[in-house]
Amino acid sequence: MTHGFAVDRAFATVAFKRRLAYKTQWVLGLVLGGGAMLVSMALWHDLLADGALSGYDWSAMRAYIIIGFVTATVVFGAADWQIADRILDGHIAIDLTKPVDFQRARAAEYVGSMISTVPTVIVGVTGAWLLFDPPGPATATAGALTAVSFALVFPLAFGITYLTVLVCFWTKRYLGIMWLREALLGFLSGMMIPLAFMPSWLQAIAWASPFPHFTATPAAIYLGHVDTAGALGLLAAEAAWAVGLWFGARLVFRHAVKKVTVHGG
Amino acid sequence: MPILEARSLSKTFRRPDKASGFKGAVKHLAQRKYKNYTAVDGIDLSIEAGESVAYVGPNGAGKSTTVKLLTGILKPSEGTVRVMGRDPHVERIANAHDIGVLFGQRTQLWWDLPVEESLKLLKHMYGVSDADYKRRLAMFDDLLDLGEFMPALARTLSLGQRMRADLACALIHDPKMVYLDEPTIGLDISVKDRLRAFLRELVDNGTTLLLTSHDLADIEEVCERIVVIDKGTIAYDGPITQLKAHYITTKAVNLYLEGPADVPALAEKFPDYAWAAGEAPSEVTVTYETSRFSTAGVLGSLTAQLAPRDLSLSEPSIEDVIRRLYAGELTK
């Protein structure tokens, strides 16, 4: 087990270093992510100038936007293309000759690449806090449970990303799948617009998917829109999705690996 | 018990059957058709521990597909593979611990990191102890001059350096069974020589080796046994010396005469030999069957009667034999 964790740490470290190897990309991520947050702030400031909408006033929305920035930075900054490329260009042949679980190795790499976004998150959140002075968590318990929800975003994001990347075994292309996933993620997670602004039937669809746990769940807990029992229920659902996606991905991979067709040397 | 055993091993791929041009693309979109393509067709292969086996064949013969089946990357369509008693596809991780694989056309280095980082990651993957890791790195440095580019980013390496680093990656855990798929592709002569010497040493130390290569010098210098595959089936399997003894039945003497060579007159004078004009007017090649004539006897009679200015002796290379095997001129 210790050896297993040492291997995970080694994969995560390598992925982290690979991300740091491209400093311009890192800086651009910070500028673009921060820029998007500023645009959101300006937009919602105007929209909520006359008072609360769908239960969100300007104070709550400031915290909501910052939470959305955190999860979007972590999720969209991870190295999904690196996994997809390994499948598409046949590098998976090399991976399959190594004595490691393919999914676990990719998960460790994914976490490593996600961790590389933490400095962006720290810079972005600190800047936003100084500029917009958002409210703190509704209670100390809510703050702690929000942190748990953020932590669960890592396995959840990997599960969704990895499953969509595995589709490449059948489609032989990744771009369209990535667009679809990111559109669903951006919309149904509440990153773009809080789910409360959507019609009830669309909210029902969203909550039947894992996507709201990326933004709507941590935001609802942080802002006190749910009590402690409700927060624990949301966290249980978030964890269940993470576990379900992990084992679902295992089943898909077992089938997908039979489709490996690496021609030529 | 063999270290590797494959029985009736086959792999069939499904390929799109698409006509060319815009019409073909639209038609394929509406009505998809596929064709089955058999890359490996009922191969039987058995390798004993410590053997060094060359696995050769023309492009598209099924060499790389076989290697991928034997290493567990691909699932066989039919047949069985056992490597050290395991099914390499089903027990992939356990099998991977004991094998080393190099695909000459694909690097296992992390492209944007120093070579050292890739090797450290592999050390963790295989659970190599610090002492063994240091010892093996020192050996690679000694034999492959690895140290000079250990801190370099993989993407900045020359092809020769990349191949040497990849070889170290494949062997860092001292595997019992090593598969090398085109390890000298694109390398210059000096790097090839060093790699071959390294592989020879590996084999001498008891590692089992399966080597695919288009470079027949790799094969002659490193391997004792050769398996020739063509169109997915084995065309020859046996010792290289036996292949040569069985198929190389002639030798040739190149004669450099004082004046122009009259080939028809020489053929009439020495009807037991085959005569052919050489590149220069005074050069002529005499081919004789080794089962009928001794080299000493042939040389004695030719030098006595023709008094050549110079001569050289040659025999068909393994390359000629394999070329003829591919062409179907020779049988198993």
DSSP B117-176: HHHHHHHHHHT--HHHHHHHHHHHHHHH-GGGGTTSBGGGS-HHHHHHHHHHHHHTT--S
pLDDT > 90: percent of chain A? 61
Cβ-proximal residues to B323 (8 Å cutoff; 6+ apart), any chain: none
pLDDT tens for chain B, 332 residues: list them. Answer: 899 999 999 999 887 777 777 777 777 777 777 888 899 999 999 999 999 999 988 888 888 899 999 999 999 999 999 999 999 999 999 999 999 999 888 899 998 889 999 999 999 999 999 999 999 999 888 888 888 899 999 999 988 889 889 999 999 999 999 999 888 887 778 878 888 888 998 899 899 999 998 887 888 889 999 999 888 899 889 998 888 777 778 888 999 999 898 999 999 999 999 999 988 899 999 999 888 899 899 999 999 998 899 999 887 777 777 777 777 665 65
**CA-to-CA distance for B257 and B305, rounded, in angstroms?**
11
Asked if the Cβ–Cβ distance from B13 to A263 is below 8 Å, we say: yes
- What CATH architecture applies to the domain B249-315? 2-Layer Sandwich (3.30)
CATH 3.40.50.300 positions along chain B are 4-245
Asked if the Cβ–Cβ distance from A94 to B110 is below 8 Å, we say: no
With beta carbons less than 8 A apart as the criterion, state whether B10 and B40 touch: yes
pLDDT at position A265 is 52
| Cβ–Cβ contact A98 with B under 8 A | yes
- Bridge partner list, B275: B286
- Mean per-residue pLDDT, A64-86: 87
Closest CA to A185 of A109, A74, A79, A103: A74
**How far does Cα B85 stand from its chain's mean position?**
25
DSSP A158: H
Query: Which chain A residues are Cβ-neighbours of B182 within 8 angstroms?
Result: 265
Asked if the Cβ–Cβ distance from A265 to B64 is below 8 Å, we say: yes
| Cβ–Cβ contact B73 with A under 8 A | yes
Query: Which chain B residues are Cβ-neighbours of A3 within 8 angstroms?
Result: 127
| Cβ–Cβ contact A88 with B under 8 A | no
Asked if the Cβ–Cβ distance from B68 to A22 is below 8 Å, we say: no
- Mean per-residue pLDDT, A174-187: 91
User: Reduced to 3 states, what is the DSSP secondary structure of residue B104?
Assistant: coil
pTM, full prediction: 0.82
CATH 3.30.70 positions along chain B are 249-315
Closest CA to A159 of A259, A255, A69, A238: A238
Candidates 3.40.50.300, 3.40.50.150, 1.10.260.40, 3.20.20.140; correct CATH number of B4-245? 3.40.50.300
Q: ipTM > 0.85?
A: no
* Cβ within 8 Å of A, B 167-226: 181-182, 185
Q: Which helix (H) or strand (E) segment is B100 a member of?
A: strand B99-103
pLDDT at position B330 is 59
Residue of B nearest to A10 (CA): B121
Tell me the pLDDT band of A43, cut-offs 50, 70 and 90: very high
* Cβ within 8 Å of A, B 96-135: 96-97, 99, 101, 103-106, 108, 110, 112-113, 117, 120-122, 124-127
Asked if the Cβ–Cβ distance from B113 to A260 is below 8 Å, we say: no
pLDDT > 70: percent of chain A? 97
pLDDT at position B319 is 72
With beta carbons less than 8 A apart as the criterion, state whether B176 and B208 touch: yes
Q: Is the dihedral of CA B126, B131, B137, B142 positive or negative?
A: negative
